[in-house]
Amino acid sequence: MQFYSVCTRPGQEQKVVVAMARRVAAHGLQTRFGRVLAPTETYVDPSTRRPRNRRLFSGYVLVEMEVDLSTLHLVRSTPGVMGFLGGSPARPAPLSDAEVERLLRLCEPRPAEPAMPDFSVGDKVGFTEARYANVTGEVVSLAPNRGRLAVRLTLFGHTVVTDVSASQVRRLK
């Protein structure tokens, strides 16, 4: 089996992956197909400081398969598929081993580490959440392994210590 790049309608990569898996099972072609991947990466959104997923190659899916008439027909007739990238219509061009290795490394799930900026006890912080946008507080303890910290703040004349995610506050100068 070799990997092939399949062109899809942009934004429908995940639908194509699911539809192709169902069609492969329905036609009994599991032995001729391997993995079907829509490569994504996890990144930390700078505005919210929360992990997000984004497509690496919008409009493309990687399909591991043996090429014959039945597998070509199954892939091409899957809803959302526009065709293969490279080669001729009768014989699409497979991806090289080096390309496949690089792409699979990108697809490997990486553990998401909690975003824990350099906070220390006593730092003045402001909240980034809309309802607490004007509230400030002071860091009283840290839990860096969980990405959380305890903040002392004053609400309506009462002092409260609350446990918050590091992504919910920013350090004030």
SS3 category, 19: helix
Please check whether residues 8 and 56 belong to one and the same domain: yes
Same domain, 83 and 27: yes
Burial 75-104 (b: 16+ CB within 10 A, else e): beebebbeebeeeeeeebebbeeeeeeebe
Which range has the worst mean pLDDT, 38-42, 112-116, 150-154? 112-116
Parent domain of 60: 2-107
Confidence of residue 112 (pLDDT cuts 50, 70, 90): low
**11 and 84 fall within a common domain:** yes
Q: Establish if 158 belongs to a structural domain.
A: yes
Q: What is the mean pLDDT of residues 151-171?
A: 84
- 117: in domain: no
Give the count of domains, the chain. Answer: 2
CB 23 within 8 A of CB 74: yes
Based on the fold, state whether residues 22 and 69 are members of the same structural domain.
yes
Q: Which CATH number characterizes residue 39's domain?
A: 3.30.70.940
Which residue among 51, 74, 107 closes a domain?
Answer: 107
CB atoms inside a 10 Å sphere around CB 71: 19
- 69 and 136, same domain (yes or no): no
Same domain, 8 and 88: yes
Compute CA 38 distance to the chain's CA centroid, rounded to the nearest angstrom. 10
- Residues 11, 83: Cα–Cα separation, whole Å: 16
Residues 97 and 167 in one domain: no
Indicate the pTM of the whole model. Answer: 0.59
For residue 112, is it within any domain? Answer: no
Do 23 and 103 belong to one domain? yes
Residues 48 and 101 in one domain: yes
Q: How confident is the model at residue 130 (pLDDT cuts 50, 70, 90)?
A: low
- The answer to whether residue 102 sits within a structural domain is yes
> What does the pLDDT look like over 65-75, one tens digit per residue?
999 999 999 99
Give the CATH number of the domain where residue 167 resides: 2.30.30.30
| Residue 141: pLDDT over 80 | yes
Task: For residues 159 and 86, state if they share a domain.
Answer: no
70, containing H or E segment: helix 69-76
Residue 78 forms part of a structural domain: yes
Are residues 129 and 102 both part of a single domain?
Answer: no
- Same-domain pairing of 57 and 102: yes
Band (pLDDT 50/70/90 cuts) for residue 110 is: low
